[in-house]
Structures are given as C-alpha cells and as structure tokens.
C-alpha cells in the first residue's frame, strides 16, 4: 500500500478522501439533529487537514446510517459538515448530492486547500450495489471528481463498496493516516503480541463474534466474556439464564469453544454474578444474583460487582488487551457499572505501560459516555466490524485493493 507521501506534490490536485463519518445522531429539545459522539469525525481530521495544508483540493466522501439508495433527510451529512469545519478551523463546503450538479460545482469552485464534503454516498444505490457493473459505474462518477484517491475510512474497509473498493481501481491511490494507524495496531495484536494477552468480548450476540472467537482461541491467553453473549456461554454449561438473551442455536458451537479452550490452555473467564432485572428498563425491579442461577422471571442486563472485581483481577498482569463490546446495557445507568469496571481496569493497565485497544463501535461509545477520555487508552479503533474481521484473519477488500494498486 502506498502512503500519502508517495503520491508526490498534491498542491492543486483534487484528492478524493473516503472517510468514516458515520456518527450517532439524536434530536435536541428544539428538534434539531445533533451529533452525540464525534469521535469518528475527530479521528478523520488529521488526514484531511494534512492534505488541505499541502494545498490539495480535498473532496471528502462518507456515508451515514443505512438509507435505501435514495435521499433521506434524517441521514444527511449536513450536521457532520458543520462539525468537521469546526474541528478543522476552516469552512467546509457541503455538496447537497454525491456526484450530481451540486458536487461537480463545489469541486469545480474549490481552490487549493479547500475542503468539500459530498452528501451521503448511500443516497446513491450504486455505492452498496451487489452488481459489479452498477458499483463500477458509480465509482467512475466519483473518480471523475478527483485526480487521486486516499482511503481513510477504516470502519468500511471490510466492505466491497464503490467508494471503498472500486474507486481505488480507477485512480492513483494511497492509504490515509487513520487506516495506516489502525492496521499497525491490529498487526501488533496478531503478530507476536506481548503476553499475557487478554481479549474482553461483550455485546449482544455470540453469533456476531463466532469467527473472531475461533481465531482468538489460537492467539489469546485469556478470554473474558460479558454482555448479552455471556448467557449462551452460561447456558452451554447448563446454568439457568431466565429471560436473558440466549442464542439456543449456538449452544453446541459454544460448548465446542469451551472444549477447545481447555485443550489449548486458553482461560475463559465468565461472570460470577449478574444484575438481573424484571424487564429491559432502567426502572425495572433488579437484584444481583449468582451467574449460574438467574431467576426464571429475570433477565441479565449487566455483570455484577463481584464479576467486575474478578475481571479487573484477570486483567491486572496483562501486557496486551483488546476489548470489543460492553459488559451490559450501559446506556441505562443501573447497568453501566460492569462496563465502567472493565474500562477502569484497562485505563490502569495503559498507565502501567500495557498495550490496550478498544475495538470501536459500542465499546468506544460506552467509554466516552461513561466519562473516560480517548487518551486514557492505548488506541480506540474507529471500526468495530473491520477490527473483528481483521482479527478473524479475513481479507478486507478495501485494503487488498490498495495492495493490488501497487502492482498495476
């Protein structure tokens, strides 16, 4: 993969940058859409700023949410353009379409150092089309707006989409600083990590992480399991999980993982107590119960306090930690303590010189919502799904195409 420095003098050149600006939005009291976590925008700024400072005419493209190939006001990138301008300290021109009249006019009017943000890529069906021809046609329209391409949206490099994959086959291409950093971090996790190496997995479903668990049983020393997925692990050991989230069709798979872990000497750490509630609500009746005896009329919504202490103890001697997925329904204050306990333990490890990585997605949102700062961790990834697929050992199309480009 080429780095930006290998593209030569970019002054006056139109540089199409694929960023990941897929940030969470909510409505304020006045009914205006507001960004609730600007982490991905902040992570995208260094590459955009470096290109702008080099005199390039920067054309940023990104997606937001999952529109169905047509414009939807609630998925407009307009609020992102405003926030991006604030973080860059300069005006960002916002094009109200992706490759149409507004986009072409904005790019044509751009001067050296200017930044243009195109409207949501997924407003065009060609962006995510399964048809190679349809994707390629949209990619040609995007490529016509630029002279070179920079791939800097790590959160989408696992997708074979027009702005991620096909454009890179049409223009001289390079990897941006954000993607370069992410790949370097993941290589540290997969190529001879400093040990002990622990992985903390949470989130809702085991099925979302089957591939990564399978691969981690070959590389990690310890797996700590929390979140909704833990109840399938508990049920696989014949424990009562009440009304908790359970993937019954994954029980045999999980039993197999428990056997593999035992054979390979990988320690799997499960909670010893659970915060169990009568329903999925912050106001529900709740109690702390043994992890193996959740009442039939209760659902587990967080690991319990003893489990928080146990997990922190199991992390204490680790020199490498990867964490993906919260320990409970952290969005509701009564069920945030488990996630906070793990975050605090990882912060202490970071301060002690361990290499710690938060694997993006809900994990990143959780630590920020709980009041932790990004720089308290070794690295916070911008791409949860991409990180997991890399750890699974899968090829990521948005990266492999850049390797292909170096041979053309």
**DSSP readout, 274-342?**
EEEESSSSTTS-EEEEETTB--TT-EEEEE-HHHHHHHHHHHTT-SEEEEES-SS-TTSGGG-HHHHHH
Tell me, yes or no, if 205 is annotated catalytic.
yes
Beta-carbon count within 10 A of 170 CB:
17
Q: Which two tokens stand for residue 28?
A: 């304020």
Residue 3, classed as helix, strand or coil, is strand
Closest by Cα among 311, 270, 267 to 291: 270
Torsion of CA 368, 392, 195, 375, to 10 degrees: -20
Assess whether 40 carries a catalytic annotation: yes
Q: Is the CB of residue 312 less than 8 Å from the CB of residue 323?
A: no
Annotated binding site: 20-22, 40, 63-66, 122, 159, 209, 300, 331, 360-363
| Residue bearing tokens 């991006």 | 84
Any bridge partners for residue 57, and if so which?
A: 14
CB burial of 360-380 (b: ≥16 within 10 Å; e: otherwise) equals: bbbbbbbbbbbebeeebbbbb
Side-chain half-sphere exposure of 124, counting CA atoms within 13 A: 25
Q: Which residue is catalytic, options 40, 135, 243, 298?
A: 40
DSSP 266: P
Alpha-carbon torsion angle 349, 354, 359, 365, nearest 10: 30
Query: What are the angstrom distances between the C-alpha of 250 and each of 130, 206, 236, 245, 355?
Result: 29, 7, 9, 12, 32
Known binding positions for substrate: 20-22, 40, 63-66, 122, 159
* Residue in 42, 205, 316, 344 annotated catalytic: 205
Structure tokens at 188: 């540290």
Q: Which residues are annotated as a binding site for (2R)-3-phosphoglycerate?
A: 40, 122, 159
Q: Which of 126, 361, 384, 398 is catalytic?
A: 361
8 A C-beta contact, residue 335 and residue 299:
no
Q: Are 408 and 229 in contact (CB under 8 A)?
A: no
Pull the structure tokens for residue 111. 């001067």
Q: Which residue numbers are catalytic?
A: 40, 205, 361, 385
């Amino acid at each position: 993969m080429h780095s930006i420095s290998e593209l030569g003098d970019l002054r006056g050149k139109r540089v199409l940058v694929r960023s990941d600006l897929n940030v969470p939005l909510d409505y304020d009291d006045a009914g205006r859409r507001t960004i609730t976590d600007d982490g991905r925008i902040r992570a995208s700024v260094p590459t955009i700023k470096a290109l702008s400072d080099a005199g390039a005419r920067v054309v940023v493209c990104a997606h937001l949410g999952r529109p169905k190939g047509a414009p939807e006001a609630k998925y407009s990138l307009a609020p992102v353009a405003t926030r991006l301008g604030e973080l860059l300290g300069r005006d960002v021109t916002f094009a109200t379409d992706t490759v149409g009249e507004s986009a072409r006019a904005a790019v044509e009017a751009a001067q050296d150092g200017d930044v243009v943000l195109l409207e949501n890529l997924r407003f065009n069906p060609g962006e995510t089309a399964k048809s190679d021809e349809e994707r390629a046609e949209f990619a040609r329209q995007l490529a016509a707006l630029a002279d070179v391409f920079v791939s800097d949206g790590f959160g989408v490099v696992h997708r074979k989409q027009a702005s991620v994959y096909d454009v890179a086959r049409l223009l001289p291409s390079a990897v941006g600083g954000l993607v370069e950093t992410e790949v370097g971090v993941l290589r540290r996790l997969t190529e001879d990590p400093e040990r002990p190496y622990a992985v903390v997995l949470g989130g809702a479903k085991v099925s979302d992480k089957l591939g990564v668990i399978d691969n981690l049983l070959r590389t990690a020393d310890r797996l700590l399991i929390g979140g909704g997925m833990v109840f399938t692990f508990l049920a696989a050991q014949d424990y009562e999980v009440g009304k908790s989230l359970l993937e019954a069709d994954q029980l045999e798979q999980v039993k197999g993982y428990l056997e593999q872990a035992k054979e390979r000497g990988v320690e799997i750490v499960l909670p010893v107590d659970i915060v169990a509630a009568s329903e999925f609500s912050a106001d529900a009746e709740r109690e702390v119960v043994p992890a193996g005896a959740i009442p039939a009329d209760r659902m587990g919504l967080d690991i319990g306090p003893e489990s928080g202490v146990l997990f922190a103890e199991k992390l204490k001697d680790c020199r490498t930690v990867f964490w993906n997925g919260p320990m409970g329904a952290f969005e509701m204050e009564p069920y945030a303590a488990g996630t906070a306990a793990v975050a605090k333990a990882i912060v202490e490890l970071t301060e002690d010189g361990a290499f710690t990585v938060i694997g993006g997605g809900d994990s990143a949102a959780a630590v920020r919502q709980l009041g932790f700062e990004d720089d308290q961790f070794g690295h916070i990834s911008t791409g949860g799904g991409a990180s997991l697929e890399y750890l699974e050992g899968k090829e990521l199309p948005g990266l492999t195409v850049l390797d292909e480009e170096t041979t053309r």
